């Protein structure tokens, strides 16, 4: 039986860690515990290592990203929604890789696999919105788009971040009116 305070602590810890890690990727575990208003022992009870915590944060990031699709499509054009969403996705990928060798290869792979299907679904949804209103070409494959996202991440992690202009090129390419 999981107690209510435990459930609330758990949620507050990830949320706090998400903010703290966004501000400074090197915040200490004790600082996160303090900001979340729990003892260090409680933090470790829920997330037995730094790796486990950052992994949970990444999964929360992805979950929030998936939830954001609806709102983005309501407030922006499909192309702009796709641009904002992809930028956020690349940021999350960078943070995951920021873990460096602290993350076991197996864990990294399994998390990537477990998020593949919902990510494809989100991309599909935005592409279809653009196809419906005629701003995006009908022959764009969601898997291809995700593949290009990998290139964006590599560019963003490179010597100088050229990912925004690259993303601009890609979005031009999938726009209706662009040559096939």
Partner DNA sequence: ACCTGAACACCGTTCAAGT
Neighbours of 26 (CB within 10 A): 7
Q: Which parts of 145-164 interact with a second copy (CB under 8 A)?
A: 150, 154-155, 157-159
Question: Does 106 contact a second copy by CB under 8 A?
Answer: no
Q: What is the three-class DSSP state of 99? A: coil
Nearer CB in complex with DNA: 43/174:
43
Which x/- pattern, by CB under 7 A, does the window 9-48 give for DNA? x-----------------xxxxx-x---xxxxxxxxxx-x
CB-based contacts of 36-41 (< 8 A; 24+ apart in sequence):
36/9, 36/12, 37/12, 38/9, 38/12, 38/13
Q: What is the Cα–Cα distance from 55 to 121, expressed in whole angstroms?
A: 22
Q: Which residues bind DNA (CB under 7 A)?
A: 1-3, 5-6, 9, 27-31, 33, 37-46, 48-50
Q: Which residues bind a second copy (CB under 8 A)?
A: 25, 98, 100-101, 150, 154-155, 157-159
């Amino acid at each position: 039986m999981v107690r209510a305070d435990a459930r609330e602590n758990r949620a507050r810890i990830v949320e706090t860690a998400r903010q703290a890690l966004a501000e400074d990727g090197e915040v200490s575990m004790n600082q996160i515990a303090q900001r979340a208003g729990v003892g260090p022992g409680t933090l470790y009870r829920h997330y037995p290592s730094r790796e486990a915590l950052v992994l949970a944060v990444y999964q929360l990031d992805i979950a929030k990203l998936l939830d954001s699709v609806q709102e983005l499509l309501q407030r922006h054009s499909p192309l702009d929604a796709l641009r904002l969403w992809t930028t956020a996705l690349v940021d999350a990928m960078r943070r995951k890789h920021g873990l460096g060798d602290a993350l076991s290869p197996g864990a990294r792979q399994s998390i990537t696999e477990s998020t593949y299907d919902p990510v494809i679904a989100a991309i599909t949804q935005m592409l279809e919105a653009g196809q419906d209103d005629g701003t995006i070409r009908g022959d764009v494959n969601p898997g291809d788009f995700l593949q290009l996202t990998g290139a964006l991440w590599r560019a963003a992690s490179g010597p100088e971040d050229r990912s925004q202009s690259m993303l601009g090129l890609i979005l031009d390419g999938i726009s209706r009116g662009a040559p096939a």
